[in-house]
Amino acid sequence: MELKQAREQLMALQAKMSAYGHALSLLNYDGDTAAPAGTAENRAHTLGVLSEETYKLSTAKETVELLEFLDANKEQLTEAEQRMVWLMLKDIRFQQKIPMDEYIAYQQLIVESQAVWHKAKATSDFALFEPYLEKMFATTKKFAQYADPDMDPYDYWLNEYEPGISQATCDRFFAQLREHLVPLIKKVSEQPQVDNASIKGHFDVQAQDKLSHYLIGVIGLDPEHVGLSTTEHPFTTSLGSHLDERITTHYYEEDYTYSMFSVIHEGGHALYDTGSNRELAFTVLDGGTSMGIHESQSRFYENILGRSKAFIQFIFPKLQELFPEHLREYTWLDVYKAVNRVEPSLIRTEADEVTYSLHVMIRYEIEKAVLKGSLKIHDLPGEWNRLYKEYLGIDVPDDKHGVLQDSHWSFGAIGYFPSYALGSAYGAQFLKKMKETIDTDAAISQGDFSKINAWNKEHIWQHGRTKTPDQILNDTLGEPFDPAVYLEYLENKCKDIYGI
Amino acid sequence: MELKQAREQLMALQAKMSAYGHALSLLNYDGDTAAPAGTAENRAHTLGVLSEETYKLSTAKETVELLEFLDANKEQLTEAEQRMVWLMLKDIRFQQKIPMDEYIAYQQLIVESQAVWHKAKATSDFALFEPYLEKMFATTKKFAQYADPDMDPYDYWLNEYEPGISQATCDRFFAQLREHLVPLIKKVSEQPQVDNASIKGHFDVQAQDKLSHYLIGVIGLDPEHVGLSTTEHPFTTSLGSHLDERITTHYYEEDYTYSMFSVIHEGGHALYDTGSNRELAFTVLDGGTSMGIHESQSRFYENILGRSKAFIQFIFPKLQELFPEHLREYTWLDVYKAVNRVEPSLIRTEADEVTYSLHVMIRYEIEKAVLKGSLKIHDLPGEWNRLYKEYLGIDVPDDKHGVLQDSHWSFGAIGYFPSYALGSAYGAQFLKKMKETIDTDAAISQGDFSKINAWNKEHIWQHGRTKTPDQILNDTLGEPFDPAVYLEYLENKCKDIYGI
């Protein structure tokens, strides 16, 4: 094989893979947005065929030979090419270590398990889901052992979702959070609660939709390349490359801030994805480098910027214009307090900034204990409820609002949760660094995101997956990751809202 | 090769082709509906890759060998299998006769020609489009000669779009229409014009959207399998199989009947597609058998049923409910007359039932003359304008409203237009036959489409592509196709509206 030709083939292979990825993402996106309710079977047929084709392409003998040839000649490749080859070979080598029949059984398990989870959640019936969850944890553990017999299985998966992290990192991180946040939340709960009447009422969906499009413009997304739809649960997806990004929201008539912060959160993901350098499109280096860095951006825009005093002051006149009757009675300070209300609650995705990480920690502790073998699947609901009582001080009424609330385990995403909390903490440290050169409050109070976005693009977005999360953190911060910055940020927020 | 195995492979091949078809259709549908404006390049990348994969799959050595083996053993196949093999081999044999370089150049020409046509139409600049149109007609002619050197090129393409027809059929058909319709339209134009104020005004888009969903239910589409979106130009598309059908409409605030009849028209296409027998899904026999039969259904629902007295009487209370202020002043009879107003106009897609076929005839005569060599591309605008004056009595102000109005020629659809007029005429004859057993007016005046739909399903829809258009017509009508039935229908309409 000629090196020049092999390098061209590497690009052609990725272009082809991204086309299949585009089709698969679009089928799922269509299923969540425009598709009629009875078309899932039809879509499953096509998803099945195209997934198989993608799998065949990515594991074909020619593909493996190409990548191994390039790997053997890696000193003649650019850094970006080396990383492409490394990322693609990593997936192939994982595949090669899993016996084919077990891999197929696992794919089948995911499909069934998701369907059963939906039913179990709807009826709050953990016993129904239990055998699937049992198999899911067992398979996850076994696959990790196939992939790297010398590595602790949970460390293996943590490192898959957020390269560079381990239980050691997470233990330290969560211990520090627990130590500060549990007493902080207790102290908050002893204060008079802030009023949230300024965000509750009846808010016209069309006015909320106008707000969404306004926000897309304000935070600096390019509407030529970023679409907005509505779905049951908001999400962000890239179609084929960062040149076509879609975000979704959900409008609740009784609270305009749900969609408002969903749009800013998903907008943060979309800013990151669409900020990839143009030449990364149609390669495996396009888009975000890890879940943690992704959440650092989405939660940065949603919480750190979006729930800041400066931003609420800026957006308040627009809110008054859109919801004039309701907001006549309130000030921007009312809204600021309402959107920063701290209140232990049952559902992770609805949690406030301060309690959020504890929801994640509970999932982390459970995953860790199950994979270590010290917690049985059968005992998950009890342990879940015990931890919610211990850390958040609340009683879980049923498994629907408890252990069955998240979909992640039903599709095998075990080790994924910690990245949500890590991302939040990264964000706080990015803010601190950013403030060395940018007066973020002054910019935000003018609705001017240009300097902030330029900073994020320079340090984070443009690099796509060319850098690891570690490299992003080191190169951007110039100092080690320090959760104390995040804790200080949260403590200041509580001081500001509750005077403690 | 074992026959049993080959038959299974035939089904698997079609299942795979339909999955690729699903992805390609969805990419185009997304481009027309939800996609942000700047994402065409990204989508073109994926469409390019997946089209090439589809082409490779359909022309692969194994595919050809499989189909030829099955063809050699066709007496052992079911009728449906024989037809699958025949349809698939037909495409392959066409491909095999076209030199590869000419085929690739043609695909490129289509892409360029469409882009140039858009620009030429916007600026009404025929000279810009002329060289592309020249090449398009020349290529079309050459390809027909490659495919069947013994056949007249225009007959070849007419028969491609509507199997069974030829210039001989069309000449007779259009001569009969011309003979009756040209004087009829002249007579109508001498009568006082009917008032259309009952359909013109300002109509809330949300109310129009409610009307769309109501109509979908009334005509008997299954909303579990048929979705509705809005686009610049309304269309219908199947995604993967008839189990996922999408129709689109366009809302004009100044006239609620544009969208109303678009929904019914596209709804007719969707009824036909979704009426395929379940086992035809994921095979080449799924969906409609020809453009003519397809239009016979869409125009049947839109015009024959939708613009009937019975239907307007039925729908009027709903229209009053949705547009109470405007319709307070009018009766159902005002609306009935307004939606059946006959008026020679410039644009085919906006033409009324009576003048519509003459628009088509003009295109037919031009295509025929160009392919015969008696009309030069350079002289198309002049000939177009001359024919509009002769048949419709109107002056064409510019090429944008004349020869450049339709997109068909820009993507090589030469020989396609006649099916629109044939379909309209088939529909009138279907109605006559249907009336032998169903009191259609009584059913429609109750908003009850069940018997009509059952009749269409039995005779037309369920068969998908298992029957040719000829077989559908013969088996359904039990008598030859007779345009006189259509003419009588149009004459009665004119008598009803204009008293002539």
What domains, with CATH codes, occur in chain B? 3-97 (no CATH), 126-500 (1.10.1370.30)
Q: In 10 A of CB A496, how many CB atoms?
A: 13
Interval A344-357: pLDDT, tens: 999 999 999 999 99
Q: Taking residues A456-470, report their average pLDDT.
A: 98
Complex ipTM value = 0.93
Instruction: Report how far residue B414's alpha carbon sits from residue A69's, in angstroms, rounded to the nearest whole number.
Output: 50
- When pLDDT is cut at 50, 70 and 90, the band that residue B452 belongs to is very high
Q: Taking residues B70-81, report their average pLDDT.
A: 98
Cβ contacts of A49 on chain B, cutoff 8 Å = 15-16, 19-20
Q: If 0-12 CB within 10 Å is exposed, 13-18 middle and 19+ buried, where does residue B477 land?
A: middle
Q: Taking residues B260-267, report their average pLDDT.
A: 98
Phi-psi region of B389 (alpha: psi -120 to 50; beta: other; left: phi over 0): alpha
Q: Which range has the worst mean pLDDT, A301-310, A354-363, B55-64?
A: B55-64
Residue A111, pLDDT score:
85
Nearest CA in chain A to B226: A36
- On the question of pLDDT at B104 being above 90, the answer is no
Nearest to A303 by CA among A342, A253, A340: A340
Q: What is the dihedral of CA B256, B261, B263, B264, to 10 degrees?
A: 140
- When pLDDT is cut at 50, 70 and 90, the band that residue A448 belongs to is very high
Q: How near does any CA of chain B get to the CA of A224, in Å?
A: 4
Instruction: Report how far residue A251's alpha carbon sits from residue A231's, in angstroms, rounded to the nearest whole number.
Output: 9
**Residue tagged 């296409």 (tokens):** B269
- When pLDDT is cut at 50, 70 and 90, the band that residue A250 belongs to is very high
Residue A107, pLDDT score:
87
User: Of A244, A278, A279, A283, which to mutate for an interface test with B (greatest number of B Cβ within 10 Å)?
Assistant: A244
Q: Taking residues B413-417, report their average pLDDT.
A: 97
Interval B222-258: pLDDT, tens: 999 999 999 989 999 999 999 999 999 999 999 999 9
The alpha carbons of chain A give a radius of gyration, in whole angstroms, of 23
Q: Taking residues A233-251, report their average pLDDT.
A: 97
Interval A395-441: pLDDT, tens: 999 999 999 999 999 999 999 999 999 999 999 999 999 999 999 99
Cβ contacts of A36 on chain B, cutoff 8 Å = 223-227, 244
Residue A139, pLDDT score:
97
For chain A, give the mean pLDDT.
Answer: 96
Q: Taking residues A296-301, report their average pLDDT.
A: 98
Interval A56-113: pLDDT, tens: 999 999 999 999 999 999 999 999 999 999 999 999 999 889 998 898 899 889 989 9
Q: Are A300 and A427 in contact (CB under 8 A)?
A: yes
Residue B238, pLDDT score:
98
Instruction: Report how far residue B453's alpha carbon sits from residue B461's, in angstroms, rounded to the nearest whole number.
Output: 9
Interval B356-400: pLDDT, tens: 999 999 999 999 999 999 999 999 999 999 999 999 999 999 999
- On the question of pLDDT at B16 being above 90, the answer is yes
Q: How near does any CA of chain B get to the CA of A281, in Å?
A: 9
In percent, the amount of chain B with pLDDT more than 90 equals 95
**Residue tagged 């239980």 (tokens):** A167
- When pLDDT is cut at 50, 70 and 90, the band that residue B111 belongs to is confident
Q: If 0-12 CB within 10 Å is exposed, 13-18 middle and 19+ buried, where does residue A233 land?
A: exposed
> Identity (one letter) of the amino acid at B230?
T
> And the tokens for A250?
């959900």
Interval A335-394: pLDDT, tens: 999 999 999 999 999 999 999 999 999 999 999 999 999 999 999 999 999 999 999 999
- On the question of pLDDT at B1 being above 90, the answer is no
Q: In 10 A of CB B456, how many CB atoms?
A: 24
Nearest to B384 by CA among B347, B354, B421: B347
- On the question of pLDDT at B34 being above 90, the answer is yes
User: Of A14, A29, A42, which to mutate for an interface test with B (greatest number of B Cβ within 10 Å)?
Assistant: A42
Backbone angles phi, psi at A199, to 5 degrees: -115, 0
Residue A104, pLDDT score:
84
Interval B312-361: pLDDT, tens: 999 999 999 999 999 999 999 999 999 999 999 999 999 999 999 999 99
For residue A149, the SS3 value is: coil
Q: How near does any CA of chain B get to the CA of A487, in Å?
A: 39
Cβ–Cβ below 8 Å for B42 and A15: no
Name the pTM for this structure.
0.94
- State the DSSP code for A411: G
A31 touches chain B (CB under 8 A): no
